[in-house]
Structure 1
Amino acid sequence: MSSLIPALASAVPVAAGWSAHSMWLRRRLEVARRDPLTGLRTRAGFESAAARLVARRSVAVIFVDLDGFKQLNDRLGHATGDQAIRVAGTVMTETIGDGRGVVGRLGGDEFVAVVPLPGSHALPWLLNGLHECLTTPFVYQGRSVSHGASLGGVFAPAGGSLSVLLRRADEAMYAAKRDGGGWRVADLDAPHQPTTNGRRPGRTGGVS
């Protein structure tokens, strides 16, 4: 018994050290799953959280692509482009909420979100409001900056496939972009468009 007490006492700092190390690892993992420019979830972090939400709730899946982003970068510089991405990330978070829904940046000027909805009737209202917020001009370094946005959304009851819903939302977003911007609602039961590696032929992220 007398030898056990010193052994336990010496183990306490070691256990505390491991606990601190585990907390540090968890923080580093969380940082790695967040986009450094916007603070939104990156693809891996988004897909993990979104899949859980899709499995248990009826949801809308929304795909967003900023219109004219490459031209904005070319005309006003990458610092302004970065600010446009930050503003869009803030709009996504404040409109949808990363507590109520799940918001992510896939890269470039592409954003995605999954948000609980009671029914499909609410999706057009949500897309219209989000589009208005995303296309509202903002001021950066004394200059008013504006760009367009194309949005696609799909509603699904609980238990859907996240990959299928993302593809449908992406297709609807592309239809909106092809028609000059705005938003479109996807038909979950319609035949999907041909894609290459899950994306439409000839389209690359970040160039619009």
Structure 2
Amino acid sequence: MALNFFDQFSIPYILGTPLIIPALLFPLLLWPSTSRFKKNRYSTIQHWLVNLVTKQLMMPIKPEGHKWTSTFMTLFMLLIMLNTLGLLPYTFTPTTQLSMNMAFAFPAWLMTVLTGLRNQTTISLGHLLPEGTPTPLIPMLVLIETVSLLIRPIALGVRLTANLTAGHLLMQLISTAVVTIMGSLTTTALAALITLLLLTCLEMAVALIQAYVFILLLTLYLQENI
């Protein structure tokens, strides 16, 4: 029995083994192997959707950044699977853990920064100081822009964690209310159940959108450094 509503975001253990490990490996079982799925409806639809999203994300970027397509799309598909599979009953969502999301956000952000420093050092450092800044304001603006740059991976991780956690917590609250009042207030319980079903659909959309926003922001960061 959970002591409070936030216990659902604690990593569960079975026989001393954290369930976050199979939760991270389970999406790999759903990814079709080219040796087993040569041509079928599932692989065709998946290929079309991946190509569509890839064009939306990578077309605005300069050709120099297109070599990052496979990296970003792999991370995008992994986030989608982790976010959506966590909505199934008796499952655990790894992306509700801030540490997990920071493990995704920080290396990806660092890749974009190091790319800019390697390929265009002067321009990348020039982003820390807007053009035409008065001399007395230079130290303060450099400090502000540096903090803004360093806070980007934190914003990526916190945004993904907060949106998924809020949705899961709201679903937990409504489902608990439905079970509690089902015997006494049937009409209210039915209305709450309908709300829960609609919220589940909304949470599915949030899971997809947040994965898209995560990768979209990474592409914008990459665009600044190529």
TM-score (norm 1): 0.30
Relative to total residues, which structure has the larger helix share, 1 or 2?
2
TM-score (norm 2): 0.29
Higher relative contact order, structure no. (Cα contacts within 8 Å, ≥ 6 residues apart): 2
Relative to total residues, which structure has the larger strand share, 1 or 2?
1
